[in-house]
Structure 1
Amino acid sequence: LDHCLHPEFLEDQLERSLERLNLATLDVYLLHNPEYYLSWAERRPIPLDEARQTYYQRIRLAFEFLEQAVADGRIQSYGISSNTFPEPARSYTFTDLNCIWQIAQGISPNHHFRWVQLPMNLLETGAATEANLPDKQTALQFAQDHQLAVLVNRPLNAFRQESLIRLADVLPPNYPATPEEVSTAVDSCIQLESQFANEHLAGLKLDDETNQQLLDYLAVGRMLEGNWGGFGTFQNWQDVKARFILPRSQTAVEFLSNRPDLPDETALWLDAYVEAANILLAALSAFYQEQAAKRMTRILETAVSADPEWQAKTLSQTAVRALRSTAGVSSVLVGMRQQRYVLDILAELEHPITVKERTDSWQQMNEQSKQ
Structure 2
Amino acid sequence: MLDRISQSFEAMEEAIHKGQILSYGISSNSFSLAEDDKHFLPFYDLIDRAKEASKRVRKTENHGFAAVQMPANLLETYGLKTAAKWAKQNGLKVFINRPLNAFNSDGAFRLASYPKANYETIKSSTVSYLETLSQGRESKSIHSILDLVKQMNNGLPLIKNVFEWENYRIAVYSSIRRFREDIDIDTVLRPFLDAFEAEVRYRGSQAVRNYLIEKLNIEELKDENKSIEQVAMEFLFNSGVVDVVLMGMTREKYVDFAKEMIKH
- Deviations, residues 19-58 of structure 1 (Å, cap 9, x unaligned): xxxxxxxxxxxxxxxxxxxxxxxxxxxxxxxxxxxx1111
Q: Which residue of structure 1 lines up, in the alignment, with residue 125 of structure 2?
A: none
Checking the alignment, whether the CA contact within 8 Å between 2:159 and 2:165 is kept in structure 1 is no
Checking the alignment, whether the CA contact within 8 Å between 1:115 and 1:149 is kept in structure 2 is yes
Count, aligned residues: 235
Match of 2:77 among 110, 114, 125: 125
Alignment of 1:1-371 (within 5 A): 55-107=1-53, 108=55, 109-129=61-81, 138-161=82-105, 164-172=108-116, 232-233=160-161, 235-246=162-173, 248-257=174-183, 286=199, 289-299=202-212, 302=216, 304-305=218-219, 313-351=226-264
1:304, CA displacement in angstroms?
3.9
Residues 1:175 and 1:57: Cα distance change in structure 2 (over 3 Å): same
Residues 1:148 and 1:340: Cα distance change in structure 2 (over 3 Å): same
- SS of corresponding position for 1:80: strand
Checking the alignment, whether the CA contact within 8 Å between 2:28 and 2:70 is kept in structure 1 is yes
1:98, CA displacement in angstroms?
1.2
Checking the alignment, whether the CA contact within 8 Å between 1:172 and 1:293 is kept in structure 2 is no
Checking the alignment, whether the CA contact within 8 Å between 1:238 and 1:285 is kept in structure 2 is no
- Deviations, residues 114-170 of structure 1 (Å, cap 9, x unaligned): 1101111111112124xxxxxxxx112111111010011111122234954221113
Residues 1:283 and 1:143: Cα distance change in structure 2 (over 3 Å): closer
User: What is the alpha-carbon distance in structure 2 between the residues aligned to residue 337 and residue 291 of structure 1?
Assistant: 20
Residues 1:73 and 1:339: Cα distance change in structure 2 (over 3 Å): same
Give the gaps of 5 or more residues in structure 2: 56-60, 121-137
1:175, CA displacement in angstroms?
6.3
User: What is the alpha-carbon distance in structure 2 between the residues aligned to residue 113 and residue 241 of structure 1?
Assistant: 43
Checking the alignment, whether the CA contact within 8 Å between 2:73 and 2:99 is kept in structure 1 is yes
1:60, CA displacement in angstroms?
1.1
Amino acid at match of 1:252: R
Residues 1:126 and 1:288: Cα distance change in structure 2 (over 3 Å): same
Please report the RMSD computed on the Cα atoms of aligned residues, expressed in angstroms.
Answer: 4.1
Amino acid at match of 2:84: L
Residues 1:162 and 1:250: Cα distance change in structure 2 (over 3 Å): farther
Checking the alignment, whether the CA contact within 8 Å between 1:317 and 1:345 is kept in structure 2 is no
Checking the alignment, whether the CA contact within 8 Å between 1:123 and 1:158 is kept in structure 2 is yes
- SS of corresponding position for 2:30: coil
User: 1 or 2 for the larger relative contact order (CA 8 Å, sep ≥6)?
Assistant: 2
Checking the alignment, whether the CA contact within 8 Å between 1:237 and 1:288 is kept in structure 2 is no
TM-score by length of 1: 0.52
Residues 1:62 and 1:56: Cα distance change in structure 2 (over 3 Å): same
Checking the alignment, whether the CA contact within 8 Å between 1:237 and 1:285 is kept in structure 2 is no
Residues 1:117 and 1:340: Cα distance change in structure 2 (over 3 Å): same
- SS of corresponding position for 1:244: helix
- Deviations, residues 295-348 of structure 1 (Å, cap 9, x unaligned): 2244267474499xxx98322122111112221211111222222222222222
TM-score by length of 2: 0.71
User: What is the alpha-carbon distance in structure 2 between the residues aligned to residue 170 and residue 300 of structure 1?
Assistant: 17
Instruction: Indicate the percent of aligned positions where both proteins have the same amino acid.
Output: 28
Checking the alignment, whether the CA contact within 8 Å between 2:31 and 2:40 is kept in structure 1 is yes
- SS of corresponding position for 2:167: helix
